[in-house]
Amino acid sequence: MSINPIAQELNTAIKNANHFLMEMFSKTGRRLFFPKGILSQSAEARQNAEDKYNATIGIATENLHTMHLSSVMSFLNTDKLRPSETLTYAPSYGIAELRQAWKDSIYEKNPSLKGRQISLPVVTNGITHGISVFADMFLDPDDVVIFPDKMWGNNNLIMSVRGDACISQYQMFNNQGGFNLEAFEARVKLEAQNNYKVVVFLNFPNNPTGYTVTEHEADRIVEILSDIAQKGTNIIAVADDAYFGLRYEDAPIKESIFARLCSCHPRLLAVKLDGATKEMFVWGLRVGFITYGTQITGGDYASFYEAMEKKTAGNIRGTVSNASHVSQRLVLKTLKSEDYPKQRAEKVEILKARANKVKELLSGSRFDDAWEMYPFNSGYFMCLKLKNVEAEALRVHLLKKYKVGLIATGKSDIRIAFSSVDKENIEPLFELIYKGVKDLEK
C-alpha cells in the first residue's frame, strides 16, 4: 500500500534526524500522518475569516458564541468555565497551553532534564489510551515487549490480545528484596539476540506491587539498555509513570527513569506515558500524555519532535479524534492554581501514612505463617505472596464471608489497594485477610 505524501514528509524529517527511528516504527507508525483537510482549513479560517462568515467547523454557534444548553452549563461554574472552553472540540494534539504547561511540569519534576530536548507532550484519553497509541505506532505482530512478572493485566489486553505482540517476562524481585537486575539483564539480552527491536516497559511505581527502583537500580537499568543499544539493537524504553510522585521512602528515585533514558543513544527511544489521572487525583477526567526523548544525529530537534507529534496526533485523530475539552481545561486551570501544590502534597501525605501503617503492621512476625510481603515503597498498592492457600479462593472467600474486596493477580499473589482504605481501617482489613486464610487452611 502506498504511503500518503504527508506521511512521507514526516518520515523524511524523522529519518534525517535519527534514521534508527524508522526501524522502530510499526507498519502503521510509518504510514501515520496528521491530515491537512478539514482541520487545517478550519484553522486557516479561524485566522482569516470573519467570525460571522466562518462556515468551516462542525459545531453550532449562536450570536457568534458557542451554542449550548443552559441545563448543561448550569452544572459548571460559568464564571470560570465558558462554553467555548468546555463544549467545543479540543485539538487532536490537545490544548496547546496544557501541553506546554505539562512539559514545563516535567522539567520541574525532573531537574536533571535541564538542557536536554524532549517533545511537546501530546494529550491522550488517559494513560490506557496512551499505551494503545504507543502500540499502534511502534508494535507489529510478534514484536517483543518485556515486562516483569508483576505487571498490570491490561497491558496484555492492549499489546498482546489486540496488537498480537509477544510479551516476554522476567522475575521482578531478587531474594534480597530488591529489583532483580540480573533477571532483567538476562531477559533483555536474550531478546536482543533474536530481534532487531526490543520494547521494555518500566512501570515505577509498579502496579501491582507499589515498588519503585532505587538510584543504583535505575542507573544499572540505564546502563544495561544503553549497552544493548550501543551494540546494535534498537531499544524503545517506555516509562509508564501513571503513579509518578507518590513516593513514601527516601530510597526510591525521585525523578522518572525517563529523565535518565531520553538522551542515552540514538538507538534508544524513551517514551514517557503519564497523566493527571493519579498525579492530580482526577481519575475520571481521562487526561494523559505521551512524550518522546532521544538523541538525534542530524537536523534539529524541533523539526524531529514536531514530526513525531504529528504522527501521534494523526493516530488520535483516526481513533478518538481528541480527548475531552472540559477535562483538559480543568487540568490546565488546576495546574495554574496557586493552591494546587499544597493541596496535592496534603493528599500524598495521607497515602504515605497509610503505606507506613501497612509496613508497621506487617513488619513483625504476626502474619508470617500466612504470607510474605513483596517490597513496596510508593504508589497505590502492595502485594502479598500467600504461603498455603490460593489467591482466587481467598479472594472469593473474603468477599462472600467478610465483605472484603481484594484483587488476585496470580496463583499466590493478592493485591491490596491501601489507597482506597482509610488508615484506621487498615489493621482490621489485614486481620480479616488473615482470618480468611485460616478459614481456608482448615
Evaluate whether 406 touches 437 at the Cβ level (below 8 Å).
no
Closest-CA residue to 60 (of 69, 68, 70, 71)? 68
Query: Given a cut of 90, is residue 440 above it in pLDDT?
Result: yes
Edge-first strand order for the sheet with 122-124 is: 122-124, 288-293, 268-275, 234-240, 197-203, 144-148, 166-170
What amino acid occupies position 211?
Y
Predicted confidence band of residue 227 (pLDDT cuts 50, 70, 90): very high
| Domains of the chain with bracketed CATH | 5-34+92-335 (3.40.640.10), 341-441 (3.90.1150.10)
- pLDDT for the residue 48: 75
DSSP 400-424: HHH----EE-SSSEEEEEGGGS-GG
Predicted confidence band of residue 71 (pLDDT cuts 50, 70, 90): confident
Evaluate whether 344 touches 280 at the Cβ level (below 8 Å).
yes
Q: Stretch 25-41: mean pLDDT, rounded?
A: 86
Query: Given a cut of 70, is residue 39 above it in pLDDT?
Result: no
Cα separation, 97 vs 85, in Å, equals 12
The model's pLDDT over 279-301, given as tens digits with 9 standing for 90+, comes to: 999 999 999 999 999 999 999 99
Query: Given a cut of 70, is residue 78 above it in pLDDT?
Result: no
**Three cell numbers at 244?**
509518578
Percent of the chain whose pLDDT exceeds 90:
86
- pLDDT for the residue 40: 65
Query: Given a cut of 90, is residue 335 above it in pLDDT?
Result: yes
Q: Stretch 245-256: mean pLDDT, rounded?
A: 96
User: How many other CB atoms are found less than 10 A from the CB of residue 38?
Assistant: 11
Predicted confidence band of residue 213 (pLDDT cuts 50, 70, 90): very high
Cα separation, 206 vs 399, in Å, equals 25
Predicted confidence band of residue 38 (pLDDT cuts 50, 70, 90): low
Query: Given a cut of 90, is residue 81 above it in pLDDT?
Result: no
Closest-CA residue to 292 (of 117, 158, 108)? 117
Residue 388 CA, chain-centre distance (Å), reads 35
1 vs 247, which has greater pLDDT?
Answer: 247
Cα separation, 190 vs 379, in Å, equals 30
Query: Given a cut of 90, is residue 276 above it in pLDDT?
Result: yes
Kindly provide the residue ranges of all beta strands, DSSP E only, lying in 241-277, ordered along the sequence: 268-275
Query: Given a cut of 70, is residue 61 above it in pLDDT?
Result: yes
Query: Given a cut of 80, is residue 37 above it in pLDDT?
Result: no
- pLDDT for the residue 197: 97
- pLDDT for the residue 273: 98
52 vs 106, which has greater pLDDT?
Answer: 106
Query: Given a cut of 90, is residue 45 above it in pLDDT?
Result: no
Average pLDDT value for the chain: 95
Query: Given a cut of 90, is residue 52 above it in pLDDT?
Result: no
- pLDDT for the residue 204: 98
Cα–Cα distances in Å, from 106 out to 100, 103, 375?
A: 10, 5, 27
The model's pLDDT over 161-206, given as tens digits with 9 standing for 90+, comes to: 999 999 999 999 999 999 999 999 999 999 999 999 999 999 999 9
- pLDDT for the residue 63: 86
What amino acid occupies position 350?
I
b/e map 94-124, b = 16+ CB within 10 Å: bbeebbeebbeebeebbeebeeebbbbbbbb
The model's pLDDT over 388-422, given as tens digits with 9 standing for 90+, comes to: 999 999 999 999 999 999 999 999 999 999 999 99
- pLDDT for the residue 209: 98
- pLDDT for the residue 59: 83
DSSP 90-150: PPTT--HHHHHHHHHHHHHH-GGGTT---PPPEEESHHHHHHHHHHHHH--TT-EEEEESS
pTM value is: 0.95
SS3 state of residue 168: strand
Cα separation, 297 vs 17, in Å, equals 5
Cis peptide bond upstream of 205, omega within 30: yes
Closest-CA residue to 199 (of 147, 240, 153, 127)? 147
Q: Stretch 130-155: mean pLDDT, rounded?
A: 97
Percent of the chain whose pLDDT exceeds 70:
98
